[in-house]
């Protein structure tokens, strides 16, 4: 299989974290491409008509895209149990919360980096969404994050890593001691160290 990717993408990092946690690096070739919101790389377009990464090229069918689709596929293929049936709806909800954090954080980063005159009101509104989601995790989800490894934990870790990478000045840790402590522990995992964005 081939993973069409960019190492700076937090959606890609989520997939790469799963692959490394599963110990299956030898089965997934990472094909790094230079692609942007304005100019999608031909390899990306060949795998995903939306021009977005990650995309997974697999031998038995059409390419898969969207990090949630890819991680669900790999979990099923490798029987990892990262979507446990007994906690499925909680896992999916927390995964969706992490993806929502990423959607808002990436949108704000694009606004800051790609526009000649960034819309500060827009960026602040995106951060308010991020902050509310972080508060919800701090207030309601910490017991879940303390449980056995699942895709929700991987997703939250990828989201928090992106906040450090692109929004460090916002200091997401302030007022969230439990989530901050969890993130520090999770960051020590070899998979997290191996997938640090190069910048």
Residue 39 pLDDT level (bands cut at 50, 70, 90): confident
Cβ–Cβ < 8 Å for 14, 71: yes
> What average pLDDT does the segment 75-102 reach?
98
Q: At what angle do helices 67-78 and 88-114 cross, to 10 degrees?
A: 140
Q: Same domain for 89 and 70?
A: no
Q: Same domain for 23 and 101?
A: no
For the stretch 11-24, pLDDT in tens is: 999 999 999 999 99
pLDDT of residue 40: 85
Q: Write 143-147 long-range contacts (CB < 8 A, 24+).
A: 144/87, 144/90, 144/94, 145/179, 145/182, 146/182, 147/87
Euclidean distance between CA atoms 33 and 147, whole angstroms: 35
CATH number at residue 119: 1.20.1050.10
Residue at 131 is within a domain: yes
Q: Same domain for 117 and 180?
A: yes
Q: Name the residue range of residue 164's domain.
A: 85-189
Residue 41 pLDDT level (bands cut at 50, 70, 90): confident
pLDDT of residue 113: 85
Of 169, 191, 141, whose CA–CA distance to 19 is shortest?
A: 191
Q: Same domain for 163 and 99?
A: yes
Tell me: pLDDT of 43 over 80. yes
For the stretch 123-141, pLDDT in tens is: 999 999 999 999 999 999 9
Residues 6+ apart with CB under 8 A from 117: none
Residue 34 pLDDT level (bands cut at 50, 70, 90): confident
For the stretch 179-190, pLDDT in tens is: 999 999 999 999
Listed residues 78, 99, 130: the one ending a domain: 78
Tell me: pLDDT of 54 over 80. yes
Q: Same domain for 122 and 33?
A: no
Q: Same domain for 49 and 112?
A: no
Q: Same domain for 65 and 6?
A: yes
Q: Same domain for 26 and 113?
A: no
- Work out whether strand 2-5 and strand 55-57 pair parallel, antiparallel, or are unpaired: antiparallel
Q: Same domain for 101 and 116?
A: yes
> What average pLDDT does the segment 77-95 reach?
97
Euclidean distance between CA atoms 143 and 146, whole angstroms: 5
Residue at 194 is within a domain: no
Of 129, 135, 88, 139, whose CA–CA distance to 105 is shortest?
A: 129
Of 78, 102, 89, 88, whose CA–CA distance to 155 is shortest?
A: 102
For the stretch 146-196, pLDDT in tens is: 999 999 999 999 999 999 999 999 999 999 999 999 999 999 999 999 999
Alpha carbon distances (Å) from 183 to 146, 187, 190: 11, 6, 14
pLDDT of residue 116: 84
> What average pLDDT does the segment 49-63 reach?
94
Residue 114 pLDDT level (bands cut at 50, 70, 90): confident
Give the global pTM.
Answer: 0.94
Q: Same domain for 35 and 115?
A: no
Q: Same domain for 63 and 91?
A: no
């Amino acid at each position: 299989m081939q993973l069409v990717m960019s190492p700076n993408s937090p959606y890609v990092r989520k997939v790469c974290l799963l692959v490394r946690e599963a110990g299956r690096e030898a089965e997934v070739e990472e094909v790094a491409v230079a692609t942007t919101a304005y100019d999608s790389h031909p390899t990306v377009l060949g795998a995903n008509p939306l021009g977005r990464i990650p995309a997974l090229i697999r031998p038995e069918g059409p390419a898969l895209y969207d990090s949630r689709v890819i991680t669900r596929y790999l979990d099923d293929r490798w029987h990892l149990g990262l979507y446990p049936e007994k906690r499925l709806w909680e896992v999916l909800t927390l995964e969706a919360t992490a993806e929502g954090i990423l959607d808002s954080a990436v949108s704000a980063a694009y606004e800051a980096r790609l526009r000649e005159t960034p819309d500060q009101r827009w960026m602040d509104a995106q951060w308010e969404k991020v902050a509310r989601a972080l508060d919800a995790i701090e207030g309601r989800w910490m017991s879940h994050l303390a449980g056995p490894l699942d895709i929700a934990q991987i997703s939250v870790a990828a989201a928090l890593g992106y906040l450090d990478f692109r929004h460090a000045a916002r200091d997401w840790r302030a007022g969230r001691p439990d989530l901050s402590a969890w993130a520090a522990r999770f960051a020590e995992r070899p998979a997290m160290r191996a997938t640090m964005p190069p910048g």
